[in-house]
Structure 1
């Protein structure tokens, strides 16, 4: 399958490497390929520059613009940050028409000036906007009515999404939500190829609200276990 990964951060790199390992035809999209390759400093999460990572691990995987990456893909994975995702994806609506688009971003606002901040080792914990009455997943679907948006991969670190057996032998739960049953099945099939065996369909894209809001619980558990500790959650039924 030809799969486009939009974004070059740590999460996107996890998918790029796993998809290549599985034998998919992978293409990576970014806003400005030349600017991305010219960077020499780590990103905000201290990942090495993408050009360095690409040269060391997957030099044959092309890096093109978002639109060029999406144009010929069978399935698109968006690793674009939540603050910029709607604008960036709307700009390539024509290339995304009829495609399955997996969105795993949370709509974080960093360093918020709020009355009751949640302190963390790196500053105030981000807040979510939208929240409760809307979600990023729904915003993307409304902006791209001809695209089959599936919210998934959200409730785990992306390194765990592509290697679920690294935690508890893989005995934990992944969620999907979206309006199109065939699109959700395509994402479910991809998750199974990643090694997931417990995949729970939450229904319509409105369930993206729950997945995105879980981010705060995920952070709280992570702080309790020790920052950097990967873990899974299991729906016991």
Structure 2
């Protein structure tokens, strides 16, 4: 399958590498490929320059967001939440008729708050939107001809692509969306990654809870200092 991964951060790299390993034809999308390839310093999360990573993955191509999406049958959104709606809306035509898996969290970084939450890497970002809306729903409204599925957002992306790294894979991943066929496509992809317990939360309204969980996920991660999963017991 031809799959586009939009975003060159650690999460996008994890998906692109795993998908190529599974035999898919993968294109990574970025705003400006020349600028991305010209970077010589690690990114804000400490990932090595993308050019260096790409040299180790010769089967993966780099393109603009629009070109990557245009050639794909399935698209994964890893664009940072603050810029996702604008960036995706600009390529609505290339995304029309396709399934878009969204794992972005609507973080606003370095917020000024009355009671900041200190973390090992700075002040905890603020969620916007929160509670009465979600980034997933905003993206769906901006892309009425695209089937948006919220997924991958309740684990670190290294764990999403390799669930066996935690408890041998015996934990739960969550999805939500308005189109049953689109969710089935995402379920199929998750199973190929190695997931066995995939819980469908229903319509895209559930993306609100999935995105708000990000703060709890961070708190657990800080406490444990390593990868973890959450098992939903029925």
Question: Which residue in 2 is equivalent to 1:234?
Answer: 231
Q: Structure 1: which 4+ aligned runs deviate by more than 4 Å?
A: none
Aligned-partner Cα distance in 2 for 1:95–1:111: 33
Question: Which residue in 1 is equivalent to 2:210?
Answer: 211
Aligned-partner Cα distance in 2 for 1:221–1:84: 27
SS in structure 2 at match of 1:58? coil
Question: Which residue in 2 is equivalent to 1:53?
Answer: 53
Contact 2:2–2:71 (CA under 8 A) maintained in structure 1:
yes
1:73-92 matched pairs, under 5 angstroms: 73-92=72-91
Deviation at 1:101, TM superposition (A): 0.2
1:29-108 matched pairs, under 5 angstroms: 29-55=29-55, 57-108=56-107
SS in structure 1 at match of 2:4? strand
Deviation at 1:124, TM superposition (A): 1.1
Aligned-partner Cα distance in 2 for 1:176–1:3: 19
TM-score (norm 1): 0.98
Contact 2:26–2:60 (CA under 8 A) maintained in structure 1:
yes
Aligned length: 234
Gaps of 5+ in 2: none
Aligned-partner Cα distance in 2 for 1:27–1:223: 33
Aligned-partner Cα distance in 2 for 1:24–1:203: 28
Question: Which residue in 1 is equivalent to 2:164?
Answer: 165
SS in structure 2 at match of 1:64? strand
Question: Which residue in 1 is equivalent to 2:20?
Answer: 20
Question: Which residue in 2 is equivalent to 1:202?
Answer: 201
RMSD, matched Cα: 0.6
Task: Write the deviation string for residues 4-40 of structure 1: whole angstroms up to 9, x where unpaired.
Answer: 0111100000001100000001111100001000000
Deviation at 1:59, TM superposition (A): 2.0
Deviation at 1:122, TM superposition (A): 2.2
